[in-house]
Every structure is written in C-alpha cells, then in structure tokens.
Amino acid sequence: MLTRLDPGQKPRHVAVIMDGNGRWAQRRWLPRAAGHRAGVAVLEPLIEVAGETGVETLTLYAFSTENWARPEDEVGTLMQLFLETARAKVPQLNERGARLRFLGRRDRLPASVRSAIEEAEELTAANGQLDLYIALNYGGRSELVDAARRMISDGLAPEEVDEQTFASYLYAPEVPEIDLVIRTSGELRVSNFLLWQIAYAEFYVTDTLWPDFSPEEFRRAVESFASRSRRRGGV
C-alpha cells in the first residue's frame, strides 16, 4: 500500500535528546555549568511551542545512566539545577495543566531529588493538557533489564512474553509510541535513549547546541516530520 504524504500529519509524541550544553559553554569560555543553566532556560519556551503545535506527549532526556561518569562537581551541579528547576517550574507546569512523570532508576538519585520527583508526579497526576516525561538517571538498556527482571519475578511463562506484555513492563507503559526524536548538537547517535520505544520513530538531528534551540526550530522539526513517509516496513 502506498503511504501518501499527509501535510497535516502531526507528531503526537516527541522525544528530545537535549545535547550540547558543554560545547555551548566552552565556546564562550564559560564553565560547563553555565551551559547547563542556559539549557534549562530553553525548557519553558519549548513546552509552550510543543503545546501550540499539538504535541500531546513530550519526553526530555535530562540525565542518562552513563552521565554519572562525569566529574563529581558536574553531576552535583546537574542535580542541584534539577532541584532548583523543579521548585521554580513545577507549580507553573501544574497551572498550565501538564502531567509530569519521570523515567529511570530512582535508587541512585539523591533523596532530595527523589522527593521532588514524587511531589511533582503527585501534584500533577490529574492534569491532562500535556504529558511531560523527564528521563532522569535513565538508560534504555536498564529499562529493558528492569522489565525482564519484573517479568521473571512475576513468574511469567516464556509463552506469555510477547511484544505487548513486554511493553507493559516498561517504565511508562501508558506512553504512546514515539513519533519524532529530536537530537541537538549534531551527534548521530541514540546514546541509550528509549531503545524499545524508538523502533519506528522519525529522527530530526540539528547542529544547533541545546541552549540555542529555539521554538522556531522545534516548529521546523515538526514540519519536517509532516513531510515524511512512515512506511514501517511496508512499501
């Protein structure tokens, strides 16, 4: 079957690998922390434009399971920045009707971050304007391993494990399929992000460094998605 281009086709679920904060800072002779701060400032306009373009679910990669390998002071800055951002922005996000959920292993996160996560999820649980997922201490491989472990501990028989069952053991089984992945800073790799969920996602990679990523460019990514033909293995 020929899949016709649908210019009105909108991505419902967009996932973003927010990369390039360090290089943005380096180019300005600033410490990497300044790049991370500048990266946080992009979030509010991004969430607004996502809502305006009709995106229903936005997933943001904030900290990977591999990011613990960074120098201790950078990890500390990122955790601190996360806490500050949660304090400053969660009430606003709640007012605009966003529902926040976090993806990743929580055990290694500082207790203060864990409670901020729980509070944000609780506060926004009933909202329905935009689903906002933050991948924090997230790894695609850890997610698959955690799913396998839970299936085994639930005593599932091999024949009970199919794609549907597997998907129901992921961190957020309710999340719709990812339509579009955006990666900034020009890197052509997935970096352990949502390995299961991106099976048929479209990609938009830009050389723009994350702190320079604008709502206009988000719109361009969405327009580029609208012109794609998603064959999903068909013709």
> According to CB under 6 A, which one of 177, 187, 207, 216 is a site residue for ligand IPE?
187
Q: Tell me which of ligand IPE, Mg ion, none is bound by residue 62, counting a contact when its beta carbon lies within the kind-specific cut-off of 5 to 8 angstroms.
A: ligand IPE
Write down the least CB distance from residue 93 to ligand IPE, Å: 19
Structural contact between residues 56 and 176, judged by C-beta atoms closer than 8 angstroms? yes
Known active-site residue 94: no
Q: Tell me which of Mg ion, ligand IPE, none is bound by residue 65, counting a contact when its beta carbon lies within the kind-specific cut-off of 5 to 8 angstroms.
A: none
Residues in region 138-177 near ligand IPE by CB under 6 A:
none
Rule CB under 6 A: say whether 204 interacts with ligand IPE. Answer: no
Q: Tell me which of ligand IPE, Mg ion, none is bound by residue 18, counting a contact when its beta carbon lies within the kind-specific cut-off of 5 to 8 angstroms.
A: ligand IPE
> According to CB under 6 A, which one of 11, 58, 59, 64 is a site residue for ligand IPE?
64
Write down the least CB distance from residue 159 to ligand IPE, Å: 36
Rule CB under 6 A: say whether 82 interacts with ligand IPE. Answer: no
SS3 letters for the chain?
CCCCCCCCCCCCEEEEECCCHHHHHHHCCCCHHHHHHHHHHCHHHHHHHHHHCCCCEEEEEEEECCHHHCCHHHHHHHHHHHHHHHHHHHHHHHHCCEEEEEECCCCCCCHHHHHHHHHHHHHHCCCCCEEEEEEEEECHHHHHHHHHHHHHHCCCCHHHCCHHHHHHCCCCCCCCCCCEEEECCCCCCCCCCCCCCCCCCEEEECCCCHHHCCHHHHHHHHHHHHCCCCCCCCC
Instruction: Give 108 or 189: the residue with its C-beta nearer to ligand IPE.
Output: 189
Write down the least CB distance from residue 17 to ligand IPE, Å: 5
Cα gap 225→55, rounded to integer Å: 12
Write down the least CB distance from residue 39 to ligand IPE, Å: 6
Instruction: Give 121 or 212: the residue with its C-beta nearer to Mg ion.
Output: 212
> According to CB under 6 A, which one of 61, 171, 204, 213 is a site residue for ligand IPE?
61
Catalytic residues: 19, 67
